Structure formats: C-alpha cells, structure tokens
Structure 1
C-alpha cells in the first residue's frame, strides 16, 4: 500500500472529507459563494485592523517577534509592518481576526470558521506560492469542513467546557493547508488524523475574562499547517479521528457523544454550501447575546431607565453557561472580554444607549454606574420559543415601576442566514472597523485588494494587508 494512503480506505469521515478536499476546485463552487467568501474575508480583515489598536495585539506581536529572534518572516501581520514565519503569522492573524469577538459564526456548528481558515489559507498560500483562486478555494473548504464538524456536536462542546472553534478548527485548517500544499487524498486523511492530537480550546476564560479564547483559532490554523506539513512527508495519522473510540467526539464529549449526528459531518458536500449559512456579526459580542442586544436597542426609546423595576432576558437554554453564569460575574464584568459574554451588561447597554459598539465594552463604560444599576435588574430565563441553534433568539421584557410591561422579541437574530447582512452592509462594517486603524486611502486599497484577490496570488494579498 502506498505510504501516503491511510491504513484502511473504508469510508471514514476523514477519508470522505479528504476526497472532497482533493477534488474541490474554483469552477465547482457557485459564483455567489465565491463572491460571498471574499466579503467574509474582508470582514475578518477589518476586524483585524481594528484589533491591532488594542493592548492584547501589542502583547501578542511582541511575544511572537521575540520567539522569532527578530528575524523577518515571509507572511505579513494584518495592518502591521511585521512579517513572521508562516505558523507564527497564522497565530497572530487569527488572534487579530478573533480578538474583538466581532467575527462571523456558523450558527449550527457554533463555530467561528473564518478566523482559522483565512489566516491558515494566507500563511499556507504564501508558503506554497498559491494563486488567489487557490487561496479562496482553500478558505471555502475550511468553512465547509469546520461548519459540518461543529454541527455534529449539536452545541455539546460548549456544554462540557470546550470551545469548538479551536477544536474543529485544527482539522479544517489541516485540510486548508493540505489543499494548498497539493496533498493527495490519502495525505489529507492523514493530516486530519494528525490534527486529532492538536485540537484544543478551554472555556475557562469565561470565569475571569482571560485572553485565551482569542488565541484558539490562530492556534488551530498553526496546528493545521503543521499537520499538513507532517502528512506531506509521510507522517502517519489516526485513521478514524472523528468516529474512533478516542476520536474527537468520544474523547471530548464523553457521554454526550451519543447525542452526535455523525452524518452531518459529510452531508451535502459540494451541493449545500455552509458559507451561506454563516452569520456576519452586527455587534462586537458573543453571538449568543445578539438577539437580546437587538431587542434591548428596539426597546430603548420607550424605556425610562430610571423607572425600571425588573428586566427579564429570555435566552436559549444551551447558552446559559456561556453568557448568563456565573451571575455575579456577568453583572459586574471585569474587563471587555467579560462584557462581551454578559447578557446583563449588554442588555443594559442596549437599553441605556440604544446601541452596542466597541466603545461600549471599554472603560470608562464598564464602570458606568447607570449601566451597572440596570445590569443589576437583569435576570435570565430559558426561552421556551428558542430557535437555537438555527437562530440565536432573544427576548427582553422590561417591568416598569408604574406597572407597565414592555417587551421585544428577536426570533431570528440579525445577520443570521435567514436574516443576513448584505454584501454592501459587510463592506460598511469593514470600513467602520478599518477607520479605527488606517486612513481612508489605505482602507480603500485593502478593500480593493481583498475583493479582487482571486486575480492575484497569496503573496500579493499578504503584502497588501501590511503597512
């Protein structure tokens, strides 16, 4: 048996995904999906530009530059003059794209697929000398795989304390990098088996606002590049990394693995495009909170915040551990990351200001006594009409001291596949984020380069994203 073939060619999930990846090409992808993909990439780039102005970005880049010994690499860091080795650049760019929690989400998979797939495709594409078309194809492949692998768990990873973006992102990134490296189907199957020992991502950051979630997709991208490089040289990976006895779902979900639907991992490959079911965020906060944020904003003109007796926020039961508990922490977020995962705080912001933007999760806003007083009045309840995971539904019910009850419900969160942001709205979001970091002229040049990236190559795109 050839060395690059798995020990068994039975139809495992990894072999099916490998065959799909090996055969995927530009013409096989509908034109509207290719166009939408470039807008998702643009969205991530805008977020990365804005993130580059924050302290976590400075500390990240200082650390990675130190690891390189100051030696220049080949892949640019978005919005910066720095170039790093491909794996370090993938980590850095992943942290920037995900660092503000403003990036897209596949709702069914509960996974942020772009922020591992795009940095991985950029780094692996530069390393492989890939064309822009090849980069876009590999990026779309990453979205398709991450979305399906996340969907299998039906939200279970969050329930047991793992962040699926980091877990499944390692596998999808292995295929992204392997596709760009020109691996055979057998080698792509091995790359996934190798990635099984690399996927990670703890939700412990929810307890204290730690920065660790920011690194999950970039770490997945870097791991995927490593897995693909090893597979290219004949390194042997596990044959059944998903359905095996100690595969992804059994190892990470334990008894909850029985709730998985493994068929979702490969359902509709090449006919149903999960990119079109991936939501662009209108708010820089955990996607689970968006229904309630929008509901609070809609209620804001009707509510005298000084005359509120009680506020009830209805949320899907599956998200309670993430955005509602522990209650004391959520009502007094310690930092911006805490705030982005706090239903009480975000509902209070929406009611008080009729908006929710990056400035609302920074100091001095975090210490605003009026917002904190409103947050103290917010209690959560499990939403009996939730559309989770297809939609991240939310409802806010405000009981006033004069006996009135005001409420607004968002059954389908804005930006969801059934209520999507248009490509034009994505561009406007990009421009707003980019304006925080670069000049209008520079923003326009980056926008043009991303939307026309299929006409150039990965190296040119990388250069256009740097200063």
Structure 2
C-alpha cells in the first residue's frame, strides 16, 4: 500500500516522544563515537540475547510485548485477503515445501519460510501495524512472523515466545537507533534492513543458539538488508517486512548448524553499519542492555493513515461523540495545522480509498460521520459516500505558526451558529496517550470481522492476551486460520 513520505513523518513522530532528542543524530560538529564504542558490538548484543531471561523482563515490558503481539495478529488477519496477499499466495504456492505453518485469516499452509514471509506481508499491507516512533520501524512484522512460523513446526512455550519477541524487537530497534536517521534518509526502508536482525535474534533465541552461533546469526542477517523507500506505494512495501522475517529465520537456521560469519558484521569497517549509513552510534546498541527497553516504547496506530492526520481524526471523533453530531448539523470545520498536514495530505477530492489516506479533508469528514478512522473508513466505499463527500467540502485546514506536527486546533461551526472546539496535544496512539487494551481489542475486531467468525475472533484475542501462559505458542497460529 502506498505511504506518505516517511521522512516528513519522522519529525511528527519524533516530537511526540519526550526525551528522544537525546538519542537523535549528532550535529555535524559533534565528535564521532570513539573506537571503544565500536568494539565487540555484535558479540555484546549476541551475548545479551542468548542470556536474557523472561524473569529479567520488567512487568511493563512484558505487558507491552503482549500488546505488540495482539496488535500484530489483528493487522495480519486484517490484511489476509487483500489483493497483495492473494497475488503472493498464488505466486508462491506451487513452490512451497511441506505444509508446516498456517496463514492468519486463510486456509492455506506453507513451509515455515514462506509462511513467515506471507504473514509478514499481510501484517503490513494496511500500514496499520505497530510503530517505534523514534525510527519509524514497524517492529512486530519481521520478528513475530518469523518466530510464530517456527513455533508451529517445533513447540515453544508462550513464555519463551514472548521473551524472544521482546528480545527481537529490542535488537532491531537498538540497531535502528544506531544508524537513524541517516540510513533512512538515503532511501533504505528501515523496517526491512533493521528488522532482519530482530527476526534472527528472536528465532535464534528460540532455537537455543550459543553465543557464537548468535554472533553468526546476526552476521548472516547483516548480509541480507532488504527494502528501499522507492517501493512505497506498491506491493513491494509490504514485501520488505515479510522478507526480513524470512531472511532472519534463514540466518538463525544456518547459524544453528555452525554456518559461520564475521564476528563483527554490525560494527566492522566494511560491516553493516558503515556500509549502509553515514551515522553509527554503537552506544545505542550496547548501552543499557537489560535496563533500558526500546520495546517498551512501541506504539499502535488507532487510525489507518499517516501519522500527521491522527490529531485531527482524534479531535473529530471526540467532538462527534460528545455532542452526538450529525452531518446536517455541521456548517464548517476549521483546523489549525502544521505545514506537513497540507504538504502530505492535501488531496481535496480523493477518488479511492487509497487516496483517502492522503486527504485531511476525507479523514476529518469520515471521522465526523462514522466516528472512526479504521481501514473501513479509508475504503473506496467511504470515499464515494455522498454524505462524507459533501462534508469534505466544509473542512478548512489552515497552516498556523506555532502548531506542532503532533497538534491540531479544531473548531466546528454548527448550523445554528454555535461553535465546538478541541485542541489535541498528543493524539491517541502516541507514547504520551497510548491506546488502551480496550482500544486494541476494538481495532482487532474491526480488522477481523468478515474474515473470521465472532467466536473465533474472541478466541484468538484471548490466546494473544494469555501468550505468556500458553504451553504451546503455536496454538495462536492454529486458532487464527480459516477452517
């Protein structure tokens, strides 16, 4: 699915994170990290992944890992019957190996390599998955896709699965921090290029790799960066997290049989970081392991569109619900916005659901009419709805100095002359205003409805919430297929 320019979104996302500036790219005059910072980076990370125990994870980190997993399963089910996945399934099915693992929301079974790829693709199709806002990495796609496929082939306890998921997310986000934003700015899709490390680390942990084998797994992952931003706007975009899942799993399997690599593939002079980025801050990878958790900063999109429109949708939904507004009551909707809003989402008359994702006019109108901003609100049906189309013409966004990318000021003028106002500082879904568990469940149901029966949806959600207590994590995958 096409996406709005990610570099532009970075400013909005980063500003929404308190304290993230401390880990931003250094100014040109700042000295580089010294040689000591680049010593044994790959091995230090490998040792941590091999040794870190579930018992060592703070409860809030375990909880966020569970929420990450629930959100990922929901978006993977939601994308399971999109044309993108239909094409991929048809293309790969004749070449699949043994039917070792299933696909969420579908009945086909594939070998674990292809299953990991296809579930990774499905989870990213709507651009509705989790987001580590500091790097714009979508962490769960590469990691969860790889290890859930593995868990179907060789039983894994839910406790071990959740530990591996958190360690995988931690690995990819820390590596992403080390090269962001320079690596991203030149055109790499960081979800794929960093995600492969997360998939390798998580799969390797479940396979019981030794420290040396984990070093090799990370090295083999470094040899498989995937994803260019030029692919945004095509099926290729969701290919990237899917392929990162497969590549990471591939790396771990090879390393488990002692397929070797360099011991410094992340930090060496001709290694991953120096080859694909002009910024390398290895402290982001090694410092605070086991005490500072990037996995705890994961966020979840409440709306199926670009981040810059989220504050306006949030304001519209709040005012609609609080005042029981109907479209005929609304004379005009004024928005004070940051310049990025019109620059990235200024389509006044979208013709398709996809174009609606790039229209602040549609986003506000559909939120006021339907009280939501999910995938159904960015469909062809919603864009062509005459009531929504008429209300789009009453939305008036104005670029206003002082309004930050994560903010909006909305004023609705009613037909009787009254006005309603709402200012949003941090939209729902941000780190400062995270989605609640109930929000995540509503999102899950909205995505899965029409694909799985209601009872099955509830069963899958219950298993996700209880992942840490399951005897067999593969039960989640088996529960989420079409029968």
Scaled by the length of structure 2, what TM-score is found? Answer: 0.79
Residue in structure 2 matched with residue 3 of structure 1 by the alignment:
none
Alpha-carbon separation, structure 2, partners of 1:306 and 1:423:
32
Structure 1 residues 225 and 342 mapped into 2: Cα distance closer, same or farther (>3 Å)?
A: farther
1:98-152 per-position Cα deviation (integer Å, ceiling 9, x unaligned): 2222211111222111122111111223344322222111111111112222233
Alpha-carbon separation, structure 2, partners of 1:86 and 1:288:
37
Where in structure 2 are the equivalents of 1:88-167 lying within 5 Å?
A: 88-167=114-193
* Deviation (angstroms), 1:267: 3.2
Alpha-carbon separation, structure 2, partners of 1:406 and 1:361:
25
Q: Which residue of 279, 290, 303 corresponds with 2:310?
A: 290
Q: Which residue of 42, 45, 54 corresponds with 2:82?
A: 54
Residue in structure 2 matched with residue 5 of structure 1 by the alignment:
none
Q: Which residue of 205, 211, 230 corresponds with 2:235?
A: 211
Contact 2:121 2:241 in 1 (8 A): yes
Alpha-carbon separation, structure 1, partners of 2:363 and 2:193:
28
Where in structure 2 are the equivalents of 1:416-431 lying within 5 Å?
A: 416-431=430-445
* Deviation (angstroms), 1:186: 1.7
Q: How many residues align?
A: 440
Residue in structure 1 matched with residue 18 of structure 2 by the alignment:
none
Contact 1:188 1:228 in 2 (8 A): yes
Alpha-carbon separation, structure 2, partners of 1:160 and 1:147:
18
SS of match in other structure, 2:380: coil
Contact 1:394 1:411 in 2 (8 A): yes
Contact 1:189 1:239 in 2 (8 A): yes
Contact 1:313 1:394 in 2 (8 A): yes
In structure 2, the gaps of 5 or more residues are 1-37
Q: Which residue of 418, 422, 435 corresponds with 2:449?
A: 435
Structure 1 residues 450 and 354 mapped into 2: Cα distance closer, same or farther (>3 Å)?
A: closer
Contact 1:383 1:394 in 2 (8 A): no
In structure 1, the gaps of 5 or more residues are 1-9, 387-391
Where in structure 2 are the equivalents of 1:23-34 lying within 5 Å?
A: 23-34=51-62
Q: Which residue of 288, 297, 303 corresponds with 1:277?
A: 297
Query: Are 2:41 and 1:13 equivalent residues in the alignment?
Result: yes
Residue in structure 2 matched with residue 74 of structure 1 by the alignment:
100
* Deviation (angstroms), 1:376: 11
1:198-248 per-position Cα deviation (integer Å, ceiling 9, x unaligned): 122222244xx3122222211111010111122223333344443344444
Where in structure 2 are the equivalents of 1:49-448 lying within 5 Å?
A: 49-68=77-96, 72-206=98-232, 209-254=233-278, 257=279, 261-298=281-318, 313-314=337-338, 320=340, 330-331=347-348, 335-343=352-360, 345-350=362-367, 354-367=371-384, 374=392, 386=404, 393-396=406-409, 408-448=422-462
* Deviation (angstroms), 1:382: 9.0
Structure 1 residues 359 and 447 mapped into 2: Cα distance closer, same or farther (>3 Å)?
A: closer
Query: Are 2:470 and 1:455 equivalent residues in the alignment?
Result: yes
Alpha-carbon separation, structure 1, partners of 2:412 and 2:444:
37
Structure 1 residues 338 and 169 mapped into 2: Cα distance closer, same or farther (>3 Å)?
A: farther
* Deviation (angstroms), 1:404: 12
* Deviation (angstroms), 1:66: 2.8
Contact 1:138 1:179 in 2 (8 A): yes
SS of match in other structure, 2:104: coil
Contact 1:139 1:176 in 2 (8 A): yes
SS of match in other structure, 1:162: coil
Alpha-carbon separation, structure 1, partners of 2:174 and 2:348:
34
Q: Which moved more, 1:435-444 or 1:404-413?
A: 404-413
* Deviation (angstroms), 1:18: 0.5
Task: Give me the CA root mean square deviation.
Answer: 3.5
1:417-450 per-position Cα deviation (integer Å, ceiling 9, x unaligned): 2222222332333233322321121122222322
Contact 2:68 2:130 in 1 (8 A): yes
1:157-211 per-position Cα deviation (integer Å, ceiling 9, x unaligned): 44333321111101111111111121111221222222122122222244xx312
Alpha-carbon separation, structure 1, partners of 2:235 and 2:229:
11
Structure 1 residues 443 and 252 mapped into 2: Cα distance closer, same or farther (>3 Å)?
A: same
Contact 2:460 2:480 in 1 (8 A): yes
Alpha-carbon separation, structure 2, partners of 1:383 and 1:429:
34
Contact 1:331 1:372 in 2 (8 A): no
Structure 1 residues 367 and 294 mapped into 2: Cα distance closer, same or farther (>3 Å)?
A: same
